[in-house]
Amino acid sequence: MKEVLFLILLVLVSKAYTFLPKTYDARFISLYSTGPEIVDFSTIRFLGRDHRANGTLEIMEDMDDTFSVSAESFIDSSGGGDYKTLPFSIPLQPFCKSMNSYWSYFDATLKYGENTDLPVDTRPCPMPKGVYYVKDVLIKTDGWPTIMPRGFLKGVANLFKNGEYVGHLEVVCHITDLA
């Protein structure tokens, strides 16, 4: 019984930390992808001083549960290219499940009808194939952990179709203290 109460308390305290004000800011640095025959990110660019993401992404096939996703994150505090693994990861799981489980981290950043026409508001399964725009997208860290290491954060998502690797997306952003 004590273990259950401790777990409940731990979950509540963890959730309470998400309501604390963030002491950091994040901005895009780079994007690299492979597997353009499934999802093509090649036209997305980062523009201006604040590195706003602009361009299109093309999904070549309906993204259903024949696709699965895993992800890892890394930090390079010094900027010298020496990335260390972070404990934030997504185990291999069906595409639709991962969208429903982890999309909340991106809700504040991508808004349907404001800066994208990708139907992220409804999280359809399958995600329909098509060409979608992103316009003036800045990273908003709402829903991110309250405490984040500073430096260059790299997120790597791997895409599989029927268990076979078909490509990945690598996004690097810079985490800095608020000015």
59-72: pLDDT as tens digits:
999 999 999 999 99
Residue 138 lies in a domain: yes
Q: Is residue 68 included in any domain, yes or no?
A: yes
Confidence of residue 12 (pLDDT cuts 50, 70, 90): low
Mean predicted confidence (pLDDT) in 113-132: 93
What does the alpha-carbon distance between residue 26 and residue 174 come to, in Å, rounded to a whole number? Answer: 5
Q: What is the pLDDT at residue 178?
A: 85
Mean pLDDT in residue range 43-58: 95
* Total structural domains within the chain: 1
Most confident of 18-32, 82-96, 140-154: 82-96
Domain annotation covers residue 161: yes
Q: Does a structural domain hold residue 8? A: no
pLDDT score recorded for residue 30: 95
Q: Does 16 reside within a domain? A: no
Bigger pLDDT: 106 vs 52: 52
Does 93 fall in a domain? yes
Residues 6+ positions from 64 with CB-CB distance below 8 Å: 95, 96, 125, 126, 127
Q: Which residues of 111-123 are buried (b: 16+ CB within 10 A; e: fewer)?
A: eeeebbebebeee
Q: What's the angle, vertex CA 13, arms to CA 102 and CA 151, rounded to 5?
A: 55
Asked, for residue 14, whether it belongs to a domain, the answer is: no
Neighbour-count burial of 81, counting CB atoms closer than 10 A to its CB (0-12 exposed, 13-18 middle, 19+ buried): exposed
DSSP 8-state symbol, 172: E
Kindly report each contact of residues 154-158 with a partner whose C-beta sits within 8 Å and lies 24 or more positions away, as own/partner.
154/73, 154/74, 154/75, 154/76, 154/83, 155/71, 155/72, 155/73, 155/74, 156/71, 156/72, 156/73, 156/74, 157/69, 157/70, 157/71, 157/90, 158/69, 158/70, 158/71
Task: Output the domain CATH number for residue 125.
Answer: 2.70.220
Answer whether residue 17 shows pLDDT above 60.
no
Does 12 map to a domain?
no
Domain that holds residue 168: 23-177
